[in-house]
Amino acid sequence: MQKFNTFLAFDIGGTKIAYALVDAKGNLLAEQVRIPTPKDNQVLFDTLKNVVQKFESQIDGIAIATAGEVNKDNTHIIASVGNMPKGYMNTDFTALSDKPVYVENDANAAMWGEYLLGAAKGTENAMLVAIGTGVGLAFIVNGKILKGKSGAGGEAHFSVNREKKRHCSCGLWDCYEIYASGTALGLDAQEVYGRDDVSSHDVIKGLKEKNPLAEKAYHIWESDVVRGIAGLANIFDPEIVVLFGSLTAFMDFDKLQDEVNQQIVTMPLKLKHAQLDNNAALVGTTLAAAEKFNKDA
């Protein structure tokens, strides 16, 4: 009989926080609740704490998926992302509850969920590309999440362009993230339209209306997305690439898969949409937390 069966899981991002009760097998016990992410870090912490207090008597532990790079022992953030409130990176998640708290990077958590129960189930090597405001990457290598020396492995900050054209949120120039994110699609649109009042939303709207400028901006963006995936696939040789995030909803996956496979030097891969969708990170962090805590118990 395992000791840790029910978790309160959080998925904390720059624009929204999702939470749900999740069991140790990865089943959501009720639909996820979404709230906007407070702009002030103390308000954010108090918000989390209020949710914890509401569910504390029903749970055995807390499982968090968060923006930012998380340490190897899954207890805290070691480097933060630009779109979280100031001070977030120093959050003491253990202060939320007397119950044990597990913390994982959101892309890693989503990858782990997809690996155990979703699109990457049955593979040993997989890659997740989460396209949102930024780009999150995660890798399963020989059945394990790639953590690197510090836990922060798999960040989309490598140069894909030597033009010194776009300044990335990390401080470097021309990272993959600033060519393949939702932010990047907006920048491509501004260049193509020749105006700075257009965004990724205008491109998505324009695609539905067959607007040639929207199609051109999308094509530029998509080829950058593909270029990065192909380069990473050459390094990691995954069986499957799982695409994740709201911007992937309107992408043609068969076409993308063909384009990636034309550019790689390794064997052909599959490219699929995340199956657990918005619950992937909640499920993944809970499965990882349950495994860790029940092993230690």
Minimum distance between the CB of residue 84 and Zn ion, rounded to whole angstroms? Answer: 16
Residue 212: count other Cβ atoms within 10 Å of its Cβ: 9
Query: Pairing state of beta strands 135-141 and 126-131?
Result: antiparallel
Instruction: Kindly tell me which of 166 and 270 has the beta carbon lying closer to Zn ion.
Output: 166
Mask for 148-167, x = binds Zn ion (CB under 5 A): ---------x----------
Q: Is 95 in the site for Zn ion (CB under 5 A)?
A: no
Residue from 117, 152, 168, 184 binding Zn ion (CB under 5 A): 168
Q: How far is CA 260 from the centre of its chain?
A: 20
Exactly one of 28, 78, 170, 264 binds Zn ion (CB under 5 A); which one? 170
Cβ closer to Zn ion: 80 or 285? 80
Stretch that binds Zn ion, among 113-121, 168-176, 188-196, 202-210 (CB under 5 A): 168-176
For tokens 């996956």, the residue is 253
- For Zn ion, the closer of residues 120 and 175 by Cβ is 175
Please tell me the count of residues contacting Zn ion according to CB under 5 A: 5
Binding region for Zn ion (CB under 5 A) out of 78-86, 122-130, 171-179, 198-206: 171-179
d(CA 136, CA 129): 6
For Zn ion, the closer of residues 113 and 134 by Cβ is: 134
Calpha distance 83→133 (Å, rounded): 9
Binding residues among 172-231 for Zn ion as defined by CB under 5 A: 172, 175
Least separation, in Å, of the C-beta of 112 and Zn ion? 24
Amino acid of residue 216: K
Cα–Cα dist 72/111, whole Å: 16
Positions touching Zn ion (CB under 5 A) are 157, 168, 170, 172, 175
